[in-house]
Amino acid sequence: MPKIAPEEIAKIREQTDIVEIIGDYIPLTQKGKNFFGICPFHQDHSPSMSVSREKQMFKCFSCGAAGNVFKFVSDYENIPFLEAVEKVAAKVGINVHFAKGYKEPSKYEREYEIMNLAMVFYQNNLQTEAASKAREYLSVRGLTSEMLKTFDIGLSFTKDQLRKFLEGKKISNEEMFDLGLVNQKGTVYTDVFFDRILFPIHDPDGHVVAFTGRVYAKDATPKYLNSKETKIFKKGNILFNYHRAKDHVRLEKKVIIVEGNMDAIRMYASGFKNTIALMGTSLTKEQITLIQKLHVPVILMFDNDEAGALATHTNGKLLMDAGLNVSVVRLSGQKDPDEYILSNGVEKMAEVLKHPLTFLEFQYEYFKANKDLSDAGTLTTYVREVLNSLAGADPITVDITLNKLCEEYHLSYEVLKSQMLPIKEEKKLSK
Ligand SMILES: [Zn+2]
């Protein structure tokens, strides 16, 4: 039996819901916060087994059988612990990576555990009766209960609930403050998030490291509130949904990058699971490294507005300079991929994704936008921008683009070509 690294096991456990898994083996009925079923480990007649979603544990009040999800599967199926881990991983769609040996646990185990507790706490809130307004809002926005579960979406109520809950778990105010879960005013600590729908942000290894909180009641501001940067959360080191998408990226042999978290969620839920979202307007060096590690071509599909076009231009250039193969999808009609799928359906999106522009084609159009090219000066600037962008491009692309310029603007191929060469040399020298 090959070994599995402990953090891998922890990751599988984090992404698993014990109620779902045990519910596949025995019927469970919810009573209050917990679920109950007939215990399979003794001759049970009344439901003696309690399963806690909050603690991710099961316990039989009659025979004393107890443990986490892996213990249940291992005991029920009578298989070794690691085989149970594999089985659970497969059920939740995680590829288990076999490690040669056990690695040291991360130095941030406790921080990850606390963030995970917070996430589960918020998730549970969303299931309560008091959450009906928030659930209604989510349902109107087209978020199904399956999507809420996949993306661990939760809800915060009043100001001090999470803090009290974590205090009950022996977690200090200082620890919560360091993780950006509470604010501090003198000696008083209060929750950061209240009356917000919470989207957990995971690091590339799948640890919950931050939250984005969105208001759902009208008039509240700011619309989005993000966790502050902490020792486990550096915004520039993270791409939203990267940990979920990376295996699908390898399968699909391409990665789709969108602007907003909601776009990534919609894309993923619509079957485009190789989608990640920017965490800001411009990619950092660390984020580019993360994308490089995927070793696949990139499709940029940002918002259908000027800011989105600018972001496509800026980030596309960064990725091209990093040696990546970049293509671009510009949507028309709706403002972003989320709305595009909601209005036009999944098949239309699949169709659009089949015909992306090369980055150079995108630039050709981008440099033109809002320009009056009947003006000779403006046209000259435009042509120079296009020629500049061709530096380093492959000769066929260069030829196609030059011919296009000649035809559209009645320019001489020779002149264009002669204007291109010095630019290319200049670029090489400055490297
Ligand atoms: Zn029992």
For 412, residues 6+ apart whose C-beta sits below 8 A from its C-beta are 406
What is the predicted pLDDT for the residue at 11? 87
How far apart CA 129 and CA 21 sit, in angstroms, is: 24
Q: How far is the CA of 65 from the centre of ligand 1 (A)?
A: 6
Q: pLDDT tens digit string along 9-42?
A: 888 999 999 999 999 888 999 999 999 999 888 8
Residue 105 is classified by DSSP as P
What rounded mean pLDDT belongs to the chain?
A: 89
What is the predicted pLDDT for the residue at 105? 58
Q: How far is the CA of 392 from the centre of ligand 1 (A)?
A: 70
Residue 228 has a CB neighbour count (10 Å cut-off) of 14
Q: How far is the CA of 47 from the centre of ligand 1 (A)?
A: 9
Task: Work out the angle between the directed axes of helices 346-354 and 337-344 (0-180°, nearest 10).
Answer: 120
Asked if pLDDT for residue 2 goes beyond 50, the answer is: yes
Q: How far is the CA of 80 from the centre of ligand 1 (A)?
A: 20
Read off the pLDDT of each residue in 71-83 and give the average, rounded to a whole number.
Answer: 83
How far apart CA 122 and CA 154 sit, in angstroms, is: 4
> Looking at the domain covering 3-99, what would its CATH class be?
alpha beta
Q: How far is the CA of 75 from the centre of ligand 1 (A)?
A: 12
Instruction: Please state which of the ranges 103-117, 147-161, 394-408 shows the lowest mean pLDDT.
Output: 103-117
pTM above 0.75, yes or no: no
Read off the pLDDT of each residue in 397-406 and give the average, rounded to a whole number.
Answer: 91
Residue 98: pLDDT band (50, 70, 90) is low
Q: How far is the CA of 66 from the centre of ligand 1 (A)?
A: 9
Q: How far is the CA of 38 from the centre of ligand 1 (A)?
A: 8
Instruction: Please state which of the ranges 139-143, 148-152, 426-430 shows the lowest mean pLDDT.
Output: 426-430
Q: How far is the CA of 18 from the centre of ligand 1 (A)?
A: 17
Q: Helix, strand, coil % (nearest 5) of the chain?
A: 50, 15, 35
Q: How far is the CA of 76 from the centre of ligand 1 (A)?
A: 12
Nearest to 11 by CA among 71, 92, 122, 100: 92
Asked if pLDDT for residue 7 goes beyond 80, the answer is: yes
Q: How far is the CA of 78 from the centre of ligand 1 (A)?
A: 16
Q: pLDDT tens digit string along 268-325?
A: 999 999 999 998 789 999 999 899 877 789 999 999 999 999 999 999 999 998 888 9
User: Per the structure block, which two tokens stand in for 430?
Assistant: 């400055």
Residue 190: pLDDT band (50, 70, 90) is very high
242-363 matches 3-99 in CATH topology: no
Quickly tell me which residue has 């109520």 as its tokens. Answer: 157
Q: What percent of the chain has pLDDT over 70?
A: 94
Q: How far is the CA of 199 from the centre of ligand 1 (A)?
A: 37
Q: How far is the CA of 48 from the centre of ligand 1 (A)?
A: 6
Between 262 and 395, the more confident residue is: 262
Domain map of the chain by residue range? 3-99, 109-233, 242-363, 367-430
Asked if pLDDT for residue 1 goes beyond 60, the answer is: no
Nearest to 118 by CA among 230, 13, 199, 23: 199
- Inter-residue contact 94 to 12 (CB < 8 Å): yes
How far apart CA 349 and CA 329 sit, in angstroms, is: 10
Q: How far is the CA of 40 from the centre of ligand 1 (A)?
A: 6
Asked if pLDDT for residue 422 goes beyond 80, the answer is: no
Between 328 and 45, the more confident residue is: 328
Q: How far is the CA of 42 from the centre of ligand 1 (A)?
A: 5
Q: How far is the CA of 168 from the centre of ligand 1 (A)?
A: 28
Instruction: Please state which of the ranges 1-5, 226-230, 334-338 shows the lowest mean pLDDT.
Output: 1-5
Residue 11 has a CB neighbour count (10 Å cut-off) of 22
Q: How far is the CA of 44 from the centre of ligand 1 (A)?
A: 6
At residue 160, the 3 state secondary structure works out as coil
Asked if pLDDT for residue 66 goes beyond 90, the answer is: yes
Residue 116: pLDDT band (50, 70, 90) is very high
Quickly tell me which residue has 């604010």 as its tokens. Answer: 183
Read off the pLDDT of each residue in 218-228 and give the average, rounded to a whole number.
Answer: 86
Asked if pLDDT for residue 6 goes beyond 70, the answer is: yes
What is the predicted pLDDT for the residue at 102? 42
Nearest to 15 by CA among 203, 149, 186, 215: 149
Is the domain spanning 242-363 CATH 3.30.70.100? The answer is no
Is the domain spanning 109-233 CATH 3.40.50.450? The answer is no
Q: How far is the CA of 121 from the centre of ligand 1 (A)?
A: 27
Q: How far is the CA of 73 from the centre of ligand 1 (A)?
A: 14
Q: How far is the CA of 146 from the centre of ligand 1 (A)?
A: 31
Q: How far is the CA of 30 from the centre of ligand 1 (A)?
A: 18
